[in-house]
Amino acid sequence: MRATSQLRVHLLLRLLLICFYLLSILTFAAAGVGDKLEKGQNLTDGDTLVSAGGSFTLGFFSPGASSKRYLGIWFSVSNATVVWVANRDQPLLDRSGMLVFNDLGSLVLQDGSRRTVWSSDFSGSASAAVVQLAYSGNLVVHNGSSDDASLWQSFDHPSDTLLPDMKLGKNLWTGAEWQLTSWRSADDPAPGDHRRTLQTTGLPEIILWYLDVKTYRTGPWNGIYFNGVPEARGYADKYPLLVTTSAWEVTYGYTAAPGAPLTRVVVNYTGKAERWEWDARRSTWSNLFQGPRDPCDDYGKCGPFGLCDPDAASSGFCGCVDGFSIPAATTPSAQTVKVTTCRRHAALDCAGGTTTDGFAVVRGVKLPDTQNASVDTGVTLEECRARCFANCSCLAYAAADISGGGDGSGCVMWTSAIVDLRRVDMGQNLYLRLAKSELDDHKRFPVLLVAAPLASVVIILLVIIAIWWRRKHTIMGAIPQKHSMAVPIVSLAVIKDVTGNFSETNMIGQGGFSIVYKGQLPEGRAIAVKRLKQSVLTTKGKKDFAREVEVMAGLRHGSLVRLLAYCNEGKERILIYEYMQKKSLNVYIFGTRYLLEHKCFLKLLREQNFLTQC
Ligand SMILES: *[C@@H]1O[C@H](CO)[C@@H](O)[C@H](O)[C@H]1NC(C)=O
Ligand SMILES: *[C@@H]1O[C@H](CO)[C@@H](O)[C@H](O)[C@H]1NC(C)=O
Ligand SMILES: *[C@@H]1O[C@H](CO)[C@@H](O)[C@H](O)[C@H]1NC(C)=O
Looking from the CA of residue 369, the nearest atom of ligand 2 is 13
Looking from the CA of residue 110, the nearest atom of ligand 1 is 5
For the Cβ of 400 lying below 6 angstroms from any atom of ligand 1, the answer is no
419 CA to middle of ligand 3, Å? 20
- Report whether pLDDT(387) > 80: yes
For the Cβ of 593 lying below 6 angstroms from any atom of ligand 1, the answer is no
What percent of the chain stands above pLDDT 70? 77
What percent of the chain stands above pLDDT 90? 55
Least confident piece of the model among 94-98, 128-132, 430-434: 128-132
- Report whether pLDDT(512) > 90: no
What mean pLDDT comes out for the span 369-375?
97
46 CA to middle of ligand 1, Å? 16
- Pocket mutation for ligand 1, best pick of 36, 45, 100 (most atoms within 8 Å of C-beta): 100
Closest ligand, as measured to the CA of 386: 3
Contact 178, 250 (CB under 8 A): no
Query: Which protein residues are within 6 Å of ligand 2, measured from CB?
Result: 369, 371-372, 416-417, 419
Q: What is the pLDDT of residues 408-465, one digit of tens each?
A: 999 999 998 899 999 999 999 999 999 999 986 544 433 333 344 445 555 556 655 5
Instruction: State which amino acid sits at residue 532.
Output: L
Closest ligand, as measured to the CA of 413: 3
Looking from the CA of residue 387, the nearest atom of ligand 3 is 14
193 CA to middle of ligand 1, Å? 37
Closest ligand, as measured to the CA of 388: 3
SS (H, E, C) 535-548: HHCCHHHHHHHHHH
Least confident piece of the model among 291-295, 485-489, 516-520, 599-603: 599-603
Q: What is the pLDDT of residues 284-318, one digit of tens each?
A: 999 999 999 999 999 999 999 999 999 988 888 99
Q: Are strands 49-50 and 56-61 parallel, antiparallel or unpaired?
A: antiparallel
Closest ligand, as measured to the CA of 416: 2
Q: What are phi and psi of 91, to 5 degrees?
A: -65, 150
pLDDT of residue 467: 53
Distances (CA, A) of 103 to 16, 71, 516, 559, 585: 46, 20, 30, 12, 25
pLDDT of residue 125: 67
349 CA to middle of ligand 3, Å? 17
Looking from the CA of residue 42, the nearest atom of ligand 1 is 1
Looking from the CA of residue 40, the nearest atom of ligand 1 is 11
d(CA 39, CA 128): 8
For the Cβ of 100 lying below 6 angstroms from any atom of ligand 1, the answer is yes
What mean pLDDT comes out for the span 564-588?
78
d(CA 379, CA 227): 20
373 CA to middle of ligand 2, Å? 10
pLDDT of residue 175: 85
Least confident piece of the model among 98-107, 262-271, 276-285: 98-107
For the Cβ of 114 lying below 6 angstroms from any atom of ligand 1, the answer is yes
- Report whether pLDDT(331) > 60: no
What is the SS3 assignment for 5?
A: helix
Looking from the CA of residue 417, the nearest atom of ligand 2 is 14
Contact 237, 433 (CB under 8 A): no
Q: What is the pLDDT of residues 201-248, one digit of tens each?
A: 999 999 999 999 999 999 999 999 999 999 999 999 999 999 999 888
41 CA to middle of ligand 1, Å? 7
Buried b / exposed e along 488-500 (16+ C-beta atoms within 10 A): eebeeebbbbbbe
42 CA to middle of ligand 1, Å? 6
pLDDT of residue 11: 53
- Going by alpha carbons, the residue nearest to atom 6 of ligand 2 is 372
Query: Which protein residues are within 6 Å of ligand 3, measured from CB?
Result: 374, 391, 393-394, 413, 415
Q: Give the pLDDT band (50/70/90) at residue 576.
A: confident
- Pocket mutation for ligand 2, best pick of 369, 371, 374 (most atoms within 8 Å of C-beta): 371
pTM: 0.72
What mean pLDDT comes out for the span 403-410?
93
- Pocket mutation for ligand 3, best pick of 393, 394, 397, 433 (most atoms within 8 Å of C-beta): 393
Closest ligand, as measured to the CA of 397: 3
369 CA to middle of ligand 2, Å? 9
What is the SS3 assignment for 386?
A: helix
pLDDT of residue 247: 84
Contact 92, 102 (CB under 8 A): no
Q: What is the pLDDT of residues 182-199, one digit of tens each?
A: 999 999 999 999 999 999
pLDDT of residue 23: 45
Closest ligand, as measured to the CA of 97: 1
Closest ligand, as measured to the CA of 412: 3
Looking from the CA of residue 391, the nearest atom of ligand 3 is 1
d(CA 403, CA 226): 12
Contact 432, 363 (CB under 8 A): no
